[in-house]
Amino acid sequence: MQIACPCCDYIIEVPQVEAKNVATCPHCGHKVSDSDTDHDSRVVALSFSALLMLLSSMFYPFISFSSSGITQTITLPDAARILFNYDSNLLGLFIDLSIIALPMSLLIILIPLHLGALRALPQGIARRLLKFTLALEPWIMSEIFLIGVLVSMVKIMSLADISFGVSFWAYVGFVILYISALTHLNRPRLWAQIGPVEKLENINLTHRAIDNDIKACHVCHQLCTQSVCNRCHSKTYLRNPNSVQKATAWLITSIICYIPANVLPIMYTTSLGDESPSTLIAGVIALWQNGSYPIAMIIFIASVVVPLAKALVLSFLCFMVAKPANDHTIGYTRIYQLTEFIGKWSMIDVFVVAILVALVQLGNLMSVTPGLGVAFFTVMVLCQMMAAHAFDPRLLWDSPKNNNAENNA
| Distance linking the first and last C-alpha atoms of the chain | 24
Maximum C-alpha span of the chain: 78
Please name the amino acid found at residue 223. Answer: L
Whether 240 and 393 have beta carbons less than 8 Å apart is answered as no
| pLDDT, tens digit, 9 for 90 and up, residues 53-105 | 999 998 888 888 777 677 778 888 888 888 888 777 888 888 889 999 999 99
The pLDDT, as a whole number, for residue 409 is: 45
Q: Which of 20-24, 138-142, 327-331, 362-366 has the highest mean pLDDT?
A: 138-142
- Give CA–CA dist 346/378, Å, rounded: 9
Phi, psi dihedrals of residue 129, rounded to the nearest 5°: -65, -40
The helix (H) or strand (E) run that includes residue 82 is: helix 78-85
pTM for the whole structure: 0.84
**In the chain, where the domains are located:** 1-37+199-223, 39-195, 240-403
* Mean pLDDT on 37-49: 88
| pLDDT, tens digit, 9 for 90 and up, residues 264-303 | 988 887 776 677 788 888 878 877 877 767 777 877 887 8
CATH architecture, domain 240-403: Up-down Bundle (1.20)
The pLDDT, as a whole number, for residue 105 is: 93
